[in-house]
Structure 1
Amino acid sequence: MRLANATVLITGANRGLGLAFAREAQARGARKVYAAARDPASVTLAGVIPIKLDVTSPDDITVAARECGDVTLLINNAGVAATGGFLADTSVASAQRHLDTNVFGPLRMTQAFAPVLAAHGGGAILNVLSISSWISGPLLGVYGMSKSAAWAMTNGTRIELLNQHTQVLALHVGFIDTDLTRGFDVPKLAPDAVARTALDALEAGASEVLADDLTRQVHAGLSADPAVYLQPISR
Structure 2
Amino acid sequence: MSGVVALVTGGNRGIGQAFVEELLEQGAKVYAGSRDPHGVSVDGAIPVELDITDTSQVAAAAARYPDVNLLVNNAGLFTNKRLVVTDDPDAARAEMEVNFFGTLNMTRAFAPVLGANGGGQIINVLSVAGIVPTAFMGGYSPSKAAALFLSGITRAELEPQGTKVTALIVGSVETRMSEHVDGRKEDPRDIARTGLKAAAKGELTFDTDWMAVDARARLARDPVRYERQLGRLVHKAVLRTGRE
TM tier, smaller: over 0.9
1:141-177 CA-partner distances (Å, limit 9, x unpaired): 3110111111111111111111111010000011111
The aligned amino acid for 2:26 is R
Q: Residue 117 of structure 1: which of 114, 117, 123 is its match?
A: 114
Aligned to 1:93: 90
Q: Residue 5 of structure 1: which of 3, 13, 17 is its match?
A: 3
1:29-108 equivalences under 5 Å are 29-30=27-28, 32-90=29-87, 92-108=89-105
TM-score by length of 1: 0.93
Aligned to 1:204: 201
Aligned to 2:124: 127
Change (3 A) 1:148 1:91: farther
Distance (Å, rounded) in 1 between the aligned partners of 2:155 and 2:225:
25
Q: Is the 8 A contact 2:171 2:211 kept in 1?
A: yes
How far is 1:137 from its partner?
3.9
Aligned length: 232
Distance (Å, rounded) in 2 between the aligned partners of 1:228 and 1:13:
37
Aligned to 1:25: 23
* SS of match in other structure, 2:122: strand
Distance (Å, rounded) in 1 between the aligned partners of 2:34 and 2:211:
30
How far is 1:44 from its partner?
1.3
Q: Residue 142 of structure 2: which of 126, 140, 145 is its match?
A: 145
Q: Is the 8 A contact 1:12 1:37 kept in 2?
A: yes
* SS of match in other structure, 1:75: strand
* SS of match in other structure, 1:168: strand
Distance (Å, rounded) in 2 between the aligned partners of 1:13 and 1:228:
37
Q: Is the 8 A contact 2:92 2:138 kept in 1?
A: no
The aligned amino acid for 2:216 is H
Distance (Å, rounded) in 2 between the aligned partners of 1:101 and 1:90:
20
Distance (Å, rounded) in 2 between the aligned partners of 1:133 and 1:184:
17
Q: Is the 8 A contact 1:136 1:229 kept in 2?
A: no
Distance (Å, rounded) in 1 between the aligned partners of 2:57 and 2:223:
45
1:162-177 equivalences under 5 Å are 162-177=159-174
Q: Residue 158 of structure 1: which of 155, 158, 167 is its match?
A: 155
The aligned amino acid for 2:9 is T
How far is 1:224 from its partner?
3.2
